[in-house]
């Protein structure tokens, strides 16, 4: 121990830290008024017990999962199965909006054929017979 | 005379008499340390009381492989910190250095006490580390445990604290050579 360390120790000892009788009785009273806390109840079972119980629990969980996955999916009740999920519209029904359009298309086709015939006749007149 | 470990075991078993023996063994050492940490004599008394109450209450958690002094100092350091109001912690410069409990306990005849200089130049934890090392003869590991720091921190700060304190002592001695002559 060097002189510096000796001085540190000596000067610390020079600090008066007398515990007064009042403080002493106060300490004693406070200790008597407090109850020592109890440690949480700890089981004295050995460590292998906890390992074994953990493994057992894990195995049980895995077994239940495996059993649940082996079962066939439950069939839905017949009454529900018979019902169509969606009402399918009758596609053969001619919507009202399509009728006039189709009539118009027929008329246009007819006009086109007529115009084509006229043009063909004019060409034949001018150039002779045109192969079809 | 019963050994410390035996007293601890008896106190753990509920013997308040055994714990009182431990209190008697440690109260002055702890009180001296707390006087250097707390802002007032009353705070130091409160911290001492809280230290022993908490130690008794949680004695079941103490393990025989620890040094009892380290364990109880750790409780004391925590209590000393909690005794200080936030205002004081944030603005330590507002504390009146001449009226602290340490100054009052040292007295006029020992105004060159090295721990007064230590209080001026060291921060709280370094001061505590120096105290635990050089007054309580604690190991580096015990200091680290008591202050909840690493061993590296304890080593580095002990070295820095010692250097800073030596420099401060040299400065004070140079400024007041008449005090050296008076002793």
What is the pTM (predicted TM-score) of this model?
0.60
**Rounded Cα–Cα distance for residues A80 and B155 (Å):** 79
Q: CB-based contacts of B180: which residues, under 8 Å, 6+ apart?
A: B173
- Cβ neighbours of residue B45 closer than 8 Å, sequence gap 6 or more: A23, A26, B31
Residues B77 and B105 occupy one common structural domain: no
∠A31-A35-A39 over CA atoms, to 5°?
A: 130
Please give the ipTM for the structure prediction: 0.76
B45 chain-A contacts, CB cut-off 8 A: 23, 26
Least confident of A15-19, A85-89, A108-112, B26-30: A85-89
Q: What is the pLDDT of residues A23-58, one digit of tens each?
A: 888 888 888 887 766 666 566 677 788 888 888 999
- How far CA B89 is from CA of A112, A118, A124, B59, B123, in Å, comes to 102, 111, 116, 29, 12
**Number of compact structural domains in chain B:** 2
| B73 in contact with chain A, both atoms CB, cutoff 8 A | no
Q: How many residues does chain B have?
A: 183
How near does any CA of chain B get to the CA of A51, in Å?
25
Mind giving me the DSSP string for B38-84? SSSHHHHHHHHHHHHHHHHHTGGG--TTS-HHHHHHHHHHHHHHHHS
- For chain B, the straight-line distance linking the first and the last C-alpha, in angstroms and rounded, comes to 40
Here the CATH number for the domain that contains residue B9 is: 1.10.1740.10
Asked if B54 and B22 sit in the same domain, the reply is yes
Distance CA B43, CA B53 (A): 15
pLDDT score, position B26:
93
Q: Rounded to an integer, what distance in angstroms lies between the CA atom of residue A54 and that of residue A75?
A: 37
Are B12 and B18 contacting, i.e. CB atoms less than 8 angstroms apart? no
B8 part of a folded domain: yes
Chain centroid to Cα B60, Å, comes to 24
On chain B, the residues whose CB falls within 8 A of the CB of A6 are none
Selected for mutation to probe chain B from A17, A18, A21, A23 (highest B CB count within 10 Å) is A17
* Tens digit of each residue's pLDDT (9 = 90 or more) over B4-40: 889 999 988 888 889 999 999 999 999 999 988 888 8
Is the CA virtual torsion A65, A67, A71, A77 positive or negative? negative
Q: Would you call A49 exposed, middle or buried from its count of C-beta atoms within 10 A (0-12, 13-18, 19+)? A: exposed
DSSP state for residue B151 in the 8-state scheme: H
Cβ atoms of B35 and A15 within 8 Å: the answer is: yes
B2 interfacial to chain A (CB closer than 8 Å)? no
pLDDT score, position B90: 47
Distance CA A86, CA A106 (A): 36
On the question of pLDDT at A21 being above 50, the answer is yes
B55 located within any domain: yes
Per-residue pLDDT at B54: 92
| Beta carbon pairs, A and B, within 8 Å | 84
- Site from B45, B58, B80, B104 to mutate, A interface, most A CB atoms within 10 angstroms: B45
**CATH number of the structural domain spanning residue B153:** 1.10.10.10
* B74 and B106 belong to one structural domain: no
Question: Is B165:A42 a contact under the CB 8 Å cutoff?
Answer: no
With a cut of 70, list the residues of chain B below it in pLDDT: 1-2, 83-111, 176-183
pLDDT of residue B103: 65
Asked if the Cβ–Cβ distance from A31 to B19 is below 8 Å, we say yes
Structural domain of B32: 4-81
Do B14 and B46 belong to one domain?
yes
- Asked if residue B116 and residue B68 are part of one domain, the reply reads no
- Residue B63 falls within a domain, yes or no? yes
**Hey, are the CB atoms on A31 and B56 less than 8 Å from each other?**
yes
- One domain for residues B70 and B105: no
Clarify whether residues B44 and B72 are in a common domain.
yes
Question: How far apart, in whole angstroms, are the C-alpha atoms of residue A121 and residue B167?
Answer: 127
């Amino acid at each position: 121990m060097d002189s510096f360390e000796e001085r540190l120790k000596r000067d610390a000892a020079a600090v008066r830290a007398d515990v007064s009788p009042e403080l002493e009785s106060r300490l004693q009273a406070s200790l008597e008024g407090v109850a020592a806390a109890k440690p949480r109840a700890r089981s004295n079972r050995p460590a292998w017990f906890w390992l074994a119980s953990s493994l057992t629990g894990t195995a049980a969980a895995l077994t239940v999962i495996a059993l649940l996955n082996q079962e066939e999916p439950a069939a839905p009740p017949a009454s529900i199965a018979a019902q169509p999920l969606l009402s399918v519209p009758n596609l053969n029904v001619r919507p009202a909006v399509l009728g006039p359009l189709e009539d118009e298309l027929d008329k246009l086709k007819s006009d086109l054929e007529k115009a084509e015939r006229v043009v063909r006749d004019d060409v034949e007149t001018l150039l002779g017979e045109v192969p079809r | 005379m019963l050994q410390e470990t035996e007293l601890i075991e008896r106190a753990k078993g509920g013997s308040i008499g055994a714990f009182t023996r431990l209190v008697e063994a440690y109260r002055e050492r702890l009180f001296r340390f707390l006087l250097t940490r707390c802002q007032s004599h009353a705070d130091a008394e409160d911290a001492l009381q809280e230290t022993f109450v908490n130690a008794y209450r949680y004695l079941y958690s103490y393990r025989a492989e620890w040094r009892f002094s380290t364990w109880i100092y750790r409780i004391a350091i925590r209590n000393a910190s909690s005794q200080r109001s936030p205002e004081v912690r944030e603005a330590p410069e507002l504390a009146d250095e001449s009226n602290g409990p340490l100054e009052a306990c040292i007295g006029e005849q020992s105004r060159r006490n090295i721990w007064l200089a230590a209080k001026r130049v060291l921060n709280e934890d370094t001061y505590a580390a120096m105290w635990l090392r050089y007054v309580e003869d604690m190991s580096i590991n015990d200091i680290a445990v008591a202050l909840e720091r690493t061993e590296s921190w304890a080593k580095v700060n002990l070295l820095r604290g010692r250097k800073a304190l030596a420099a401060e002592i040299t400065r004070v001695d140079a400024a007041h050579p008449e005090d050296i002559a008076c002793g």
